[in-house]
Structure 1
Amino acid sequence: MDRQTVRAWIMYDWANSAFATTMMAAVLPIFYSTVAASTLPGQTATSYWGMTQSIAMLLVAVMTPILGAIADYSGYRVRFLRLFSYLGILASLCFVFVGNGDYLLASFLFILGTIGFSGGNAFYDALLNDVAEPGKRDYISSKGYAFGYIGGGVLLIVNLLWIMKWSWFGLPDSLAGTYLSFASVAVWWYVFSIPLFRRMKDKKTGGRHTFGQYASIGFSRIWNTFKRIKRYPELLKYLIAFWFFNDGISTIITMATIYGTEIGLGTEALIGALVITQFVGIPFTLLFGRIAEKLGSKKSLYISLGVYVLIVVFGYFMTETWQFYALAVVVGMVQGGSQSIARSIYSRLVPADRPAEFFGFLSVSSKFSAIVGPFVFSVVGMLTGTSRLGILALVVFFAIGIVLLAKVDLTKGEAEAAAAKA
């Protein structure tokens, strides 16, 4: 294992996490509501942002099987990673040209950026096998995730200072700090990607396919896994439960700041709260691992999902800035823990001889399911005239997920997975 190559691979997670924090979660949603969609009513702007999220996830979901096939069967993982990275970097940089009322341009650029971010990750993940031997992959993967968490948080703090304390940096106003934040995402992503692009080279596989052949390979693999998954009833029940509660979680992540903007919370408070969530999540993710060891995975997942129900209900009544800060702390306490435990449970239910296949199916299927939450949020908001009912509608996703989770017999599911290997 080449340590320099490993460090270069880890630094890419540090690099592109800037897009996840600044563009997907924190600064851009507020900018979309207050600048790009400033000519629209507040609730309409929130709904349009939700629709943008759904369209972006739909396109990513359709592309994922094709990109997975390209990553597995071509020798051009680094080349395609570079291509998608540059797409995301360029889209982020172009936000400096978005002005008042340019919500269509902002939506278009965000969709392109999301394709660049998610598409690049398909090839980045596939490079893990080239970076580390099997016994080290869990550790290297976790380290990359941790560095991504820290890297995205560090740049977000810098962005917050530019926006809140713009005069310290000789900027004319807070909006200039926001534009500088968008540009910083592009620079950050590009600069910290350079080590990976310099250290890693494509390995020729000798086989080439047309785009149509890659699409056929990708979707046939997903279809074959779908047919095979029906042989494991407990796994299938858990997967459906996961689709519901994970969609609720992802919708909260993507819609929280623009919802806060609509109900009148300040930009500084919203971004500051997300910084809190980012760093509270690190120790509490580890703590939830301990809770799972003591109480069991299923009970600990119940706890986190129950907390999310309370978060949604409290969010409906929220009016003050301190309440948003309180919710940010609570979200940070359960966000990483719920996702890590959910992934751990899934790993126990999949056939031991086909983990990559079934985790690939989880990735694709969860992207399709993630379309529904923002769409429901947006439609309810548009029909009722308030996004408060849109956020409250997410209770349904968690409730259905909890009910379906209760019907999953983990012991039986593990036995089904073990029997499949035998």
Structure 2
Amino acid sequence: MGTDTVQAGAADEAGERRREQRGWYFYDWACSVYSTSVLTVFLGPYLTTVAESAADADGFVHPLGIPVRAGSFFAYCVSASVIVAILLMPLAGAAADRTGRKKPLLAAAAYVGAAATTGLFFLDGERYLLGGLLLVIANASVAVSMVVYNSYLPQIAPPEERDAVSSRGWAFGYAAGSLVLIANLVLFTGHGSFGVSEGMAVRICLASAGLWWGVFTLVPLKRLRDRRTTKATAPPVHGWRQLAATVRDMRGKPLTLAFLLAYLVYNDGIQTVISQASVYGSQELGLSQSTLITAVLMVQVLAVAGALGMGRLARTHGAKRTILGSLVAWTVTLAAGYFLPAGAPVWFFVLAAGIGLVLGGSQALSRSLFSHLVPPGKEAEYFSAYEMSDRGMSWLGPLLFGITYQLTGSYRDAIISLVAFFAIGFVLLARVPVRQAIADAGNPVPDRI
């Protein structure tokens, strides 16, 4: 009877874990539509067009009296959103670890971001400052929410399941992005038959991403559990003080810090490609919005297969080797992008296919690998530092992209500069002995990592 009771308890625990995992996947399903439809496809070209309509005769707008080339305004706003996120993410991570009440923090960040995204419906005419402000709020909110979301991973998946669970989460996100992009493509290409202008169609697509984000966030909020911690009575530590405390703690785990540095570098390149690809396609290659939507849709579909396929590769070759392979593919693909001929959508589709196959897997496996390097009980604190590397520190790429274009007037020069992030990231990651890093963090070392 005792054995039966233990087995029944283990089965109940496994069932509850699966239920939480399925709920966890749905936050990727909810918020990835923002990253895909808003940040990657529509907002860059549309906000650039709005800024150009407000520009002076020399092509400059003047936010706060600062002369900014209209074509660089979107990239600068992305960088500004990162600075805001940097100030907020350590605060969210500290509060989550101290209280264990992650769901209220996840809800607050998600619904502020969803509301700002929905507000993009009102971006028209010469309201480029409104668009920039809402972009900063939404992009910072999604970064803060991902701190809390990612910190659930070590709690809902044992070490042997994390590569698969993380990969499924990314796959859910890319599947949602694909589904919504199909609807976007139908509306945008057939806007006349729906009785709306092209600009109105874009604004509807932007706002619908916010509504989607808000509605589907209800699923993880229902299924995920808060876990009380012994830190609830500890004195609060906020913002940069918490980040400084986390970094000091990481000094005792230099291999975890070394992985984070490598991830910071190569992920900066990934995030910049995601946010600037549509601007490059529309402004430098002269591709239509419908072509860009189709290309990003291709990325989403292939990213689902890529995330799941690279998850399987990690089981046989290890997560580190699989990530290193993806960085080689990123470098080759991005370098090829420099030579793409203008007005040739077929070659842009080939480039999109290459990006799609490595995008989901490189991000999913990086998240699951880092989860092995986090000391028990410090999940949100460490994932706040991770998220600053994921989204929060990804300001250098957009800033470099914007400055390069401002100085040269060439998006090709801007895109080729990003190759360095992948090459340097490869070298830094290759030098990290991950098995020793996992052991130093106090976690069991998987058979293959």
Normalization by structure 1: what TM-score?
A: 0.84
- Corresponding residue of 2:291: 269
Q: Structure 1 residues 161 and 205, CA, compared in 2 at 3 Å: closer, same or farther?
A: same
Could you tell me how far 1:391 is from its partner in structure 2? Answer: 0.9
- Corresponding residue of 1:155: 180
Q: Structure 1 residues 64 and 108, CA, compared in 2 at 3 Å: closer, same or farther?
A: same
- Secondary structure of the 2:94 match is helix
- Corresponding residue of 2:110: 85
Does residue 337 of structure 2 align to residue 315 of structure 1?
A: yes
Match of 1:246 among 246, 262, 267: 267
Match of 1:97 among 113, 117, 122: 122
Q: Structure 1 residues 36 and 118, CA, compared in 2 at 3 Å: closer, same or farther?
A: same
State how far apart, in whole Å, the 2-side matches of 1:270 and 1:283 are.
20
Percent identical: 31
Map Cα deviations across residues 111-142 of structure 1 (whole Å, 9 max, x no partner).
11123333334445567799x58699857665
Does residue 81 of structure 2 align to residue 59 of structure 1?
A: no
State how far apart, in whole Å, the 2-side matches of 1:78 and 1:90 are.
18
Moved more, 226-235 or 157-166: 226-235
Q: Give the conservation status (yes or no) of the 8 Å contact 1:68–1:218.
A: no
Q: Give the conservation status (yes or no) of the 8 Å contact 1:238–1:405.
A: yes
Q: Structure 1 residues 379 and 193, CA, compared in 2 at 3 Å: closer, same or farther?
A: same
- Secondary structure of the 1:100 match is coil
Map Cα deviations across residues 331-388 of structure 1 (whole Å, 9 max, x no partner).
0111122223334544555557866654443223444431111111111111122121
Could you tell me how far 1:89 is from its partner in structure 2? Answer: 2.5
- Corresponding residue of 2:429: 405
Q: Structure 1 residues 221 and 80, CA, compared in 2 at 3 Å: closer, same or farther?
A: closer
State how far apart, in whole Å, the 2-side matches of 1:411 and 1:4 are.
30
Does residue 137 of structure 2 align to residue 112 of structure 1?
A: yes
Residues 366-405 of structure 1 correspond to what in structure 2 (within 5 A)?
366-405=390-429
User: For residue 260 of structure 1, what is the amino acid of its counterpart?
Assistant: G
Residues 141-180 of structure 1 correspond to what in structure 2 (within 5 A)?
143-168=168-193, 170-180=194-204
Alignment RMSD:
3.7
Match of 1:280 among 277, 288, 302: 302
Map Cα deviations across residues 244-279 of structure 1 (whole Å, 9 max, x no partner).
111111111111111211111110111111111011
State how far apart, in whole Å, the 1-side matches of 2:140 and 2:413 are.
30
- Corresponding residue of 1:21: 36
Map Cα deviations across residues 32-79 of structure 1 (whole Å, 9 max, x no partner).
123344444599334211111111111112200111222333476444
Q: Give the conservation status (yes or no) of the 8 Å contact 1:162–1:174.
A: no
Q: Give the conservation status (yes or no) of the 8 Å contact 2:187–2:201.
A: yes
State how far apart, in whole Å, the 2-side matches of 1:420 and 1:223 are.
27
Q: Is there any run of 5+ residues in structure 2 with no aligned partner, and where?
A: 1-15, 61-67
State how far apart, in whole Å, the 1-side matches of 2:105 and 2:225 are.
12
Could you tell me how far 1:223 is from its partner in structure 2? Answer: 2.3
Could you tell me how far 1:392 is from its partner in structure 2? Answer: 1.0
Q: Structure 1 residues 71 and 163, CA, compared in 2 at 3 Å: closer, same or farther?
A: same
Map Cα deviations across residues 199-248 of structure 1 (whole Å, 9 max, x no partner).
789899999899xx74x345444323322333444444333222211111
Q: Structure 1 residues 62 and 333, CA, compared in 2 at 3 Å: closer, same or farther?
A: same
- Corresponding residue of 1:226: 247
- Secondary structure of the 1:166 match is coil
Greater fraction helix:
1
Moved more, 269-278 or 141-150: 141-150
- Secondary structure of the 1:167 match is coil
State how far apart, in whole Å, the 1-side matches of 2:293 and 2:207 are.
17
State how far apart, in whole Å, the 2-side matches of 1:404 and 1:292 are.
19
Does residue 325 of structure 2 align to residue 300 of structure 1?
A: no
Does residue 278 of structure 2 align to residue 257 of structure 1?
A: yes
User: For residue 355 of structure 2, what is the amino acid of its counterpart?
Assistant: V
Q: Is there any run of 5+ residues in structure 1 with no aligned partner, and where?
A: none
- Corresponding residue of 1:186: 210
Paired positions, count: 416
Moved more, 394-403 or 348-357: 348-357
State how far apart, in whole Å, the 2-side matches of 1:352 and 1:199 are.
22
Could you tell me how far 1:183 is from its partner in structure 2? Answer: 2.5
User: For residue 173 of structure 1, what is the amino acid of its counterpart?
Assistant: S
